[in-house]
Chain A
């Protein structure tokens, strides 16, 4: 099943409020969901999240794409009805198309499932992308069709799940495990390596997918022999919290309130939309759980542990030092587990 979610509104009738889209599906011991929201109706620079699964081979792909609105603010494409979209908007959607084509080639034509092959697909599709609007603004900050990507390619076998995270920029992929909680599988392409410092500073990216300059995809792989949840998300989901632990709190709190994957998607959407300052998208798959009740039950103890650790207890006392001390303290205790599966720092 390849899932291209439908647009949340018809092209010629822009909605009067921020658009959003949730989707879910269940197949055997696989439960998948996606969430997509946009801040400016019709101009969300996150592409619709990708969640694809090929039943005959057990191969799957999760991916999100966040058009870089800073370096890609230039107009890039004018639609036939006159609306103009930025390079960031176009770049995210073109990269999504390239990733989908790559996955199709892997499962249908047994093409290589390597990051190098995906890079070739991205370059080819970006090179062919439409550019009907030009900008006079130049400079080192400017990029043509820039976007992040965080993808997890996985294969469900008899003995577990083999996964490979592939990414560029500051969108992230994670594993959510019943015993130990949230683990980052990617490391942002920024000069700042500390995840809490990234939240505080909002640093610029050092590598994004784009049509006019070299870029690279990082990759990191592993295997889980027990049921797990894999997810990819753009920074609209995790970049507006006080601490990295709060993203896990958000995931587990909404999971605990849901009865189906569809409900979980809806709860995630309703939780993130009021607090994020950006477009937000997430693609998630739960693998190896008999049903949603088992999935929810598997994380009940972890949620209790998170609550007991005080990760949700934002200090109410006034003053930035109080908040800062709490952030430092909770990050120190949360960090070792969070970074357990994270790739090393790039040289």
Chain B
């Protein structure tokens, strides 16, 4: 293997890391806010609100992200006169905002399901006990429901974060030069697909390694007891 070439490719690819991370983390952050809102709507007693949230999740989970990116970028691009009139064309003109929107809507749909699952996992007995202590509304959420739901949802949500970091590679199709976009560019100049994608893959792996470590730390921090309890008990030790 040609290490000089791997190294020069690496130097050119790391230029794309800030854009990859920026897209991933801003879409995850904004997407989480929307996800919590959607989960609340799904659990709402107002049925139309629940239907809207269910419909949103159904559409964005059921269609490929690449199709969503194309629909938002090239699809809405054909409705420029209307978007101009509404005063939002500046937003849709930019490939960056279009990519961010597609990513955040997509992660919000998955996130909403994760948050809903977390909320549903809170045992009813715990809520009843809290009510018996006179807690209600915000206090009940802050002290009982949210901590338990967060513990349950974090492993699944960590998975979603990793998926989103990898999903940013799709935005290279709408002219954004993040790690994968740059990889395509280098290949088109050198025709050496293997080495360049190898380095690009290693960069994603390094980013996701760091992220998984951070998530594991967060899991341990918010639920040290769950972390211990889930480990298998060494039977041999108990019998002696």
A, B assembled together: no
Q: Which residues of B contact A (CB under 8 A)?
A: none
